[in-house]
Structure 1
Amino acid sequence: GIASGRPLGAMVARADLMTWEPGAHGSTYGGNPLACAAALATIDLVERELAANAREVGGVLLEGLRGIAARQPLVREVRGLGLMIGVAFRDHHAAARVEEACFRRGLLVLGCGDDAVRLSPPLVIDGERARVALAVLEEAVAEVAAAG
């Protein structure tokens, strides 16, 4: 969460709605110094490290998935940004079968419509784990393609 597990509440609204008199608004989880420090550290981590990691590892995944698409005619399209990536298939029944084949191999992908799966790994994933996921996904796609 916003404070990496520490209790902290936050409220966001338009400026014209935030016209409280001093002391008129309280919060059980507002203002705790430790939680506020944790929130600042969390925001810093998200803004600097996780966004950069999403760009870098997302690039690894996109490149790898485009390679799979070049080798596997079943794959129609690869699209995405950062770590939110979709793989669309030519056969509308393939997505569910690829999802199941990935699951049997320990990789979770999400169905996305009737013709695609979505990869949305954790923001902390590294390149090595991304390459393992690519290998598993390629095996799953090859299995589905071979089964027809």
Structure 2
Amino acid sequence: MPYHGKAFTVIDGDFMMTDVKTDTLLAPGPPFGDLEKNWGWLLAFGLFSIILGSIGLGMTFMLTELVVVFFAALLIVGGVCQILDAFKCHGWKSTIWPVLIALLYIGVGVYMTTAAARTACAEQASKAPAQAGRTGTVCRLVQHTGSIHH
């Protein structure tokens, strides 16, 4: 029940009369918001997550490769941004350390990308020849560039 009335408050040692309205206070709502209205969307999201998770369990190798390549791309983009930032800030005493760290990021990112591609090619080559033929050109290219460095 809302209360409208007067209350005493003390400001700087002086008693003052102020108006009090308790109807501006909100009563606590349900803990999960409007779940009764939107339960269908939550159910659909749960079923969609179960389906995608089941598909993911069937292809763990390729999802692992995808995560490695994604992380490598983040390293490469981060390294490029750090190089650009290092040359932009001329007021620093030294830009050599940020540039070296950025080059390390880029190098690790490129290595991870090529290593993931070589691993994927080796996995494809171990499968049936019909499946390996689809990615044969890309795999030969990756293996050729990998043999240059070794």
Q: TM-score, normalised to structure 1's length? A: 0.31
Q: Which has the higher contact order (CA 8 A, sep 6+)?
A: 1
The structure where helix makes up a greater share of residues is 2
The structure whose Rg is larger is 2
Q: TM-score, normalised to structure 2's length? A: 0.31
